[in-house]
Amino acid sequence: KIKKIIGREILDSRGNPTVEAELEFEDGSRGRGISPSGASTGEKEAVELRDEDPKRYGGKGVEKAVAGINKEIANAIISLDFNDQKSLDNWLIELDSTENKSRLGANAILALSIAFSRTMSVSKNIPLYRQLVDREKYIMPVPCMNVINGGRHADNNVDFQEFMIAPHHAPSFKESIRMGEEVFHTLKTLLKSKGYYTGVGDEGGFAPNLKSNEEAMEIILEAIHKAGYAPGDDISICLDPATSEMWQDGKYIFYKSSQKSINTEEMIMMWDKWIKQYPIVLLEDGLGENDWHGWKEMTAALGKKVELVGDDIFCTNPKIIADGIKKGIGNSVLIKLNQIGTITETLEAVQLANDNNYNCFISHRSGETEDTTIADLVVATNAGHIKTGSGCRSERISKFNQLLRIEEELGTAGSFAGFKTFKR
């Protein structure tokens, strides 16, 4: 039974306001949850409620969402009793009563949903991953580390948003992170030696101006090699070019570099060439969210060669995912809690994907906080891979640190996912 509920406006990693919810049960257990926030958002994501008051935080304040928790939700919740996540989440969805959670805000609803999960785990004295899904054996994920940032996450001339390294040839998560960090630091030295800028973007990857998108690949491969690892055998590449951001009037425009534009067929051919040329195991949003026809073609052409993850196209929404599966779109689903807005619906999305032989790739947002729920979520779902940033910035590293703790706690009940986790 909930005794106390508090909503508050706090800040995310970009210094923008976000919602935190705090709960206390009658047994004294307490827990908090914080909502993250994206920049390259999908059109069909659940809605973040923002104040739109230009006098505060440029309109990005969340006092309305917070007031929803402290007044409407608090008044209604206090007479109720929730025994599980599902009943709380369903109650919140009904109270909001909109399809996209725009009335109370997905930022308010998710913060509460996470806070409830955490408080339940405290109350039952079990780890959060076990509260989310109780199993005998858990899988520790391959960390896909976003070492070069472009697109909307950095002010450079790189069109593609995320170039990730996946250190999969390791005995454990701990060793995998070490390999990734070694490459990250080597990459910094390498960029410096070539006269490039080594400041980082929103997700902690380097954000240099480069001669081409291909150069990002070449430099990363060189860094892997210099750090003492074999590209492909030890460490592979994952990409999220976030091409919905490049899509305009049926074409893809390289607006940050050459201004060149290409059509869907040319885009698929380009990815095919990249996959042949480089050790790429995963391609997220290789085409845009409104290019469904193209996605179908891309899946037929590349779906056996590489994991094709749908982010913007699915928005972690079980209804859209079901439609995508029917139409043969991709072979993997990106999972972001705040795209759908509750723990229950997120777990539903994972279940639906798994039932249909699709992979799940668990993800942070470009605007993050110290909330580490996704670290527990990737373990709970046995999803096998996670993207939660690069080798620096504590809002990213906090997830890695939580995974290090979980791996230690699990002991023989946990095993490292390794290369086989990638769907191809």
Q: Which residues are annotated as a binding site for (2R)-2-phosphoglycerate?
A: 161, 336, 365-366, 387
Cα separations (Å) of 255 from 151, 170, 238, 243, 252? 9, 38, 22, 11, 9
Nearest to residue 201, comparing CAs of 175, 229, 240?
240
Strand partners, 152: none
Q: Which stretch binds Zn ion (CB under 5 A): 55-63, 88-96, 135-143, 235-243?
A: 235-243
Torsion of CA 322, 334, 167, 222, to 10 degrees: 110
Overall residue count recorded for the chain in this entry: 424
**Distance of closest approach, residue 42 Cβ to ligand PGA, in angstroms:** 8
With CB under 5 A as the contact rule, the residue among 240, 345, 376, 395 that binds Zn ion is 240
CA dihedral 375, 98, 108, 75 (to 10 degrees): -130
Which listed option, ligand PGA, Zn ion, none, makes contact with residue 38 (CB within 5 to 8 Å by class)? ligand PGA
The two most distant CA atoms of the chain are separated, in Å, by 64
Binding to Zn ion by residue 407, rule CB under 5 A?
Answer: no
Tell me the helix, strand and coil percentages in the chain, rounded to 5: 40, 20, 40
Q: Applying CB under 6 A, which of residues 359, 363, 372, 398 lies at the interface with ligand PGA?
A: 363
Among residues 188, 256, 336, 399, which one is catalytic? 336
Residue type, 354: N
Cα–Cα distance, 263 to 268 (Å, whole number): 9
C-beta of 40 vs 332, nearer to ligand PGA: 40
For residues 310 and 283, is the Cβ–Cβ distance under 8 A?
Answer: no
Which span (207-215, 228-236, 265-273, 363-371) binds ligand PGA, by CB under 6 A? 363-371
Determine the Cα–Cα distance for residues 181 and 123; give it in Å rounded to an integer. 36
366 lines the binding site for ligand PGA (CB under 6 A): yes
Identify the CA nearest to 335 among candidates 405, 395, 382, 391: 382
Residue set of the binding site: 153, 161-162, 240, 284, 311, 336, 363-366, 387
Whether 336 is catalytic: yes
Could you tell me how many residues of this chain bind ligand PGA (CB under 6 A)? 10
240 binds ligand PGA (CB under 6 A): yes
* DSSP alpha helix (H) spans, 28-149: 63-67, 74-77, 85-96, 106-124, 128-132
State how far the alpha carbon of 46 is from the alpha carbons of 26, 64, 82, 143, in Å: 31, 16, 24, 26
Task: Give the per-residue contact string, 300-339, with ligand PGA (x = CB under 6 A; - = no).
Answer: -----------x----------------------------
Q: Does 40 bind ligand PGA (CB under 6 A)?
A: yes
Reduced to 3 states, what is the DSSP secondary structure of residue 295?
Answer: helix
- Report the residue number, 40 or 119, with the smaller CB distance to ligand PGA: 40
Tell me whether residue 68 or residue 341 sits nearer to ligand PGA (CB atom): 341
Region binding ligand PGA by CB under 6 A among candidate stretches 32-40, 77-85, 109-117, 287-295: 32-40
Residue from 48, 63, 289, 311 that binds Zn ion (CB under 5 A)? Answer: 311
Minimum CB distance to ligand PGA smaller for 39 or for 301: 39
Catalytically annotated residue among 20, 203, 345, 407? 203
Closest contact distance (angstroms) between CB of 240 and Zn ion is 4
Structure-token pair, residue 101:
């959670």
Residue ranges of the annotated binding site for Mg(2+) are: 240, 284, 311
Q: Residue 242 interacts with ligand PGA (CB under 6 A)? A: yes
Check if the beta carbon of residue 85 is closer than 8 Å to that of residue 116.
yes
Residues marked active site are found at 203, 336
Binding site for ligand PGA (CB under 6 A): 38-41, 240, 242, 311, 363, 365-366
